[in-house]
Amino acid sequence: MSMDTVCKPELVARDYKSDIKPVWCPGCGDYSVLSSITKALAELQLPPEDVAVISGIGCSSRIPAYVDCYGFHGVHGRSLPLATGLKVARPDLTVLVASGDGDGFSIGGNHFMHAARRNVDLTYIVMDNRVYGMTKGQPSPTTEPDWDSALAPGGTGISPFRPLVIALAAGANFIARGFAGDPNGTAKLITEAIRHPGFSFVELLSPCITFRPDQKNWKTQVHDAVVDPTDDMGRAARRLMTDDGFNTGVLFTGERAPYQPPVGQATATVSDLEERFAL
């Protein structure tokens, strides 16, 4: 063991917290998710300069500002293409992507499917509160069809998006669900997701206290998945198709090799391309 290794102080969760104070509503589940992310980074002892957190737009997408590492607060629904570009250019970085149900499954729904298909080594954390919080409470893709609100009286009547099923069908290599009310369990899931190669998807049920106060009941509804993780897509599909939305734990662990194109081996210059595609 070198002297460097001996003298290096162990990093703890607070070392990954920035000095910026979160502006979320008191009681928002996203505080707990932030804490889980910093705990996971400490568990893995990742140097902050080797980590990047990328996001889109929404309450949850504020997270890059609160984590003391590299970060990029992108545009609505586009966190995954940004993160994909970063990871293929800098495969040495650990890249986390933070999103919400509106940002990630509506505006970014197409990117979600293709990021799973490409299987670049990313960890995609979606804070799902089944509502658009930042824009004041519109139904999102995961909102229950009968959720009655001022903006959707009587409910939308539209079947919700099923993110875990879509992730499996599209090719995600790791699928898990956690609950913000269990920050230690959630930190463990994020740790496993980072360790697992390829595209890891973690749905975190993160209550929106302001627009969905009914979600305070989630703590009585969540439960551990009654089965062990599987690497069998058929078994995982049956499990996820009959899922009640509150099973927590690791639900699928795939074995596909991550996609990593060669870096720095382009043979065409910009002027070659201009010449080839000139009209």
Q: Of the candidates 129, 156, 173, 248, which one interacts with ligand SF4 according to CB under 6 A?
A: 129
Contact 140, 131 (CB under 8 A): yes
- What phi and psi, each to the nearest 5 degrees, are found at residue 41? -65, -35
Residue 179 found at the interface with ligand SF4 (CB under 6 A)? no
Sheet arrangement for strand 200-205 = 70-73, 51-55, 94-100, 123-128, 200-205, 174-179, 247-253, 223-224
Nearer to ligand SF4, 165 or 209 (CB): 209
* φ and ψ at residue 106, rounded to 5 degrees: -100, -80
Site string for ligand SF4, 74-113 (x = CB under 6 A): ----------------------------------------
Q: Should residue 209 be labelled a site residue for ligand SF4 when binding is judged by CB under 6 A?
A: yes
- Note whether 30 binds Mg ion by CB under 5 A: no
**Among 41, 42, 57, 59, which residue interacts with ligand SF4 (rule: CB under 6 A)?**
59
What whole-number distance in Å separates Cα of residue 205 and Cα of residue 211?
15
Residue number, 65 or 134, with CB nearest to ligand SF4: 134
Report the first-to-last Cα separation within the chain, whole angstroms. Answer: 61
* Position 133 contacts ligand SF4 (CB under 6 A): yes
- Of 99, 129, 156, 191, the one binding Mg ion by CB under 5 A: 129
Min separation Cβ 100 and Mg ion, Å: 4
**Host H or E run for residue 271:** helix 270-277
**Judged by CB under 6 A, does residue 65 bind ligand SF4?**
no
Residues found in the chain: 279
Which of 236, 121, 125, 102 minimizes the C-alpha distance to 178?
Answer: 125
Contacts to Mg ion by CB under 5 A: 100-102, 129
Binding site for ligand SF4 (CB under 6 A): 24-25, 28, 30, 59, 129, 133-134, 208-211
